[in-house]
Chain A
Amino acid sequence: MRIRTLAVGLLVGSLALTACGKEGTPSSPGGSSEGANAGAQLPQYTVASNVDLAGSPVFAKIKAAGKLTLGAKDDQPGLGKKDPTSGKFAGFDIEIAKLVAASLGFGEDKITFKTVDSGAREQAIVNGDVDYYVGTYTINDKRKAQISFAGPYFEAGQDLLVRKDETTITGPETLKGKKVCSVTGSTPIQRVREQNLTEPGNIVEFQKYSQCVEKLSTKEVDAVTTDDAILKGFASEDSDSFKVVGKTFSKEPYGIGLKKDDKVLRDKINDTLQKALDDGTWQKIYDATLGKSGSAAQKPTLQKY
């Protein structure tokens, strides 16, 4: 009986300990996004009526279902971020997704956002789990072999996020001997590895950028690397602790991923994006989301292939 009491005591004690550790871990930004929303207002999108895209299998499927399932990221402030309490998605990518949905005749209430991590994007699109995907998705030729891209709707470049007091890291060539973190297998970390920007032992890979940022704040890594758009989002959330180095060393055109060879739908989305770029809607979306980091936007040029 005494053993049992002891065991239960230890069990409860250690459970409490692990719970404490977990509570302390996420550097949840919580309210900061609400306060930042004070400035620019998000535009309203007019939902098109009587849209008909003959010859688009994806559109036929959407129409039959009467709703959209869209792939997105949920951990990238300013781009695609899920509010943990309300469950709502917000950010630049999310607005682009809504804009396109409106042009297809579907209002915000008909959209279900589904979190798909980088590693599973092609498969989610190929399997039809999502109708299209908007989430910092770099257009490249190898991906084009499996899926199609509309866009780019944004142009980012690889950059570095460091602690505010960091002075030794000024660009990719200063990374030697520093611990660099990014998401497992992501293009930025593959570039760091292939170009030998730092020693293999100094490469740190986690499932999510937020985990890297947390390690950056506890000084276990010295830099987080990925596209500047993502890093600016983190920097604007906690501008007292972090800064973006601001020297991009790659070009990452973000596209909307959709099923391969659905040319009708791709052309339609491209038209929508072109219109938004021309009539200032794109600029309004930028100002109300990523623009809050203080950096100016560069309009992308669409690739119509």
Chain B
Amino acid sequence: MNVLLDNLDLYGPFFLTTIELFLWSAVGSLILGTILAMLRVSPVLAFRAAGTTYVTLIRNTPLTLVFAFFVFAYPLLEIVKLSFFTAAVVALIVYTSAFICEVVRSGINTVPVGQAEAGRALGLTFGQILGQIVLPQALRSVAPPLISTLIALLKNTTIAAGFSVAEAGAIRSYLSERGDNQLIGLLWVALGFIILVAVLSLIQRSLEKRWSVAR
């Protein structure tokens, strides 16, 4: 308990940064991931190819490499200057959206083909079919894997500690320099993550209940 109370100035703001990092990247990767999923089911070959390439490439790259790219290599290209926090958010979005894309795509596959065909028979465009018929149902059926991906994202935020973002993952190094017991300190960090994940799990359960579709 002492380790926690003596270092509240660390735990408070650092966990807040973790949450901030998570929220921005979650929103970003949900959007980019859905766009990627749309590309992957699109009738245009070039779009499908682009989507597939992205997913194959990013899903096979370790997250630390993605981070290292945005923090050490990207600034050398001198495009837009990113703060370390923004760079971390971008890295997390780039990485997580590949996984979100696959989750959404598996959801799209659960929607019977007949519905899309019915939509086409009514004269709806591809965008209308996807946006108004398929995606709403797809997202409903994938609440559990979607939240699982977000939980993974939450824990992945700790990698940002090595790239100049002061979040929960950095607490251990701070404690070590302050001379506090790191093992006990890490238990508190773990507890913090358990609480955050519990919140996500609750959201998942309520979404599952609310979104359940009778088929």
Contacts and interface: CB of A to CB of B under 8 A. Distances in A.
Interface in B172-188: 172-183
B48 A3 contact: yes
A214 B164 CA distance: 14
A21 B75 contact: no
Interface stretch (A28-36, A95-103, A136-144, A290-298): A136-144
A211 B73 CA distance: 12
A145 B73 contact: no
Given A10-B53, A140-B179, A146-B179, A204 B76 contact: no
Contacts of A185: 170-177
B10 to A, nearest CB: 9
Given A11-B57, A218-B75, A122 B182 contact: yes
Contact of B45 (A3, A119, A141): A3
A120 B56 contact: no
Interface in B90-120: none
Q: How large is the interface on B (under 10, 10 to 19, 20 to 34, 35 or more residues)?
A: 35 or more
A211 B173 CA distance: 17
B62 to A, nearest CB: 11
A69 interface: no
Given A142-B179, A142-B180, A186 B173 contact: yes
Nearest to A186: B177
B72 A142 contact: no
B167 to A, nearest CB: 11
Main secondary structure on chain A at its contact with chain B? Answer: helix
Given A7-B53, A205-B166, A206-B163, A18 B177 contact: no
Given A14-B57, A185-B173, A206-B163, A218 B179 contact: no
A40 B65 CA distance: 42
Interface string A142-182: 11111000000000000000000000000000000000010
Contacts of A24: 73, 76
B161 interface: yes
Nearest to B178: A142
Interface residues of A, number: 42
Nearest to A219: B75
A278 interface: no
Nearest to B81: A220
Contact of A122 (B53, B68, B176): B176
B49 interface: yes
Contacts of A140: 179
Contact of B177 (A6, A118, A141, A203): A118
B82 to A, nearest CB: 11
A123 interface: yes
A2 B52 CA distance: 13
B174 A190 contact: yes
B178 A18 contact: no
Contacts of B49: 3, 6-7
Given A3-B52, A7-B49, A118 B173 contact: yes
B179 A143 contact: yes
Contact of B162 (A25, A141, A184, A220): A184
A196 interface: no
Contacts of B176: 118-123, 185
A3 B163 CA distance: 36
B84 interface: yes
Contact of A18 (B48, B73, B182): B73
A80 to B, nearest CB: 18
Contacts of B177: 118-119, 185-187, 190
A144 B126 CA distance: 68
A148 to B, nearest CB: 13
A117 B59 CA distance: 30
30 contacts: A3-B45, A3-B49, A10-B53, A11-B56, A14-B57, A18-B65, A21-B69, A21-B73, A22-B68, A119-B176, A119-B177, A123-B182, A140-B179, A142-B178, A142-B179, A145-B179, A146-B179, A183-B173, A184-B161, A184-B164, A185-B171, A185-B172, A185-B173, A185-B174, A185-B175, A185-B176, A201-B83, A203-B166, A207-B162, A214-B72
Given A119-B172, A190-B174, A220-B75, 17 more contacts: A24-B73, A25-B73, A118-B173, A118-B177, A122-B179, A123-B176, A123-B182, A144-B179, A146-B179, A146-B181, A184-B170, A185-B170, A185-B172, A185-B174, A186-B177, A203-B166, A207-B162
By Cβ-Cβ distance, the 8 closest A-B pairs, closest first, are A142-B179, A185-B173, A21-B73, A185-B174, A119-B173, A119-B176, A143-B179, A207-B162
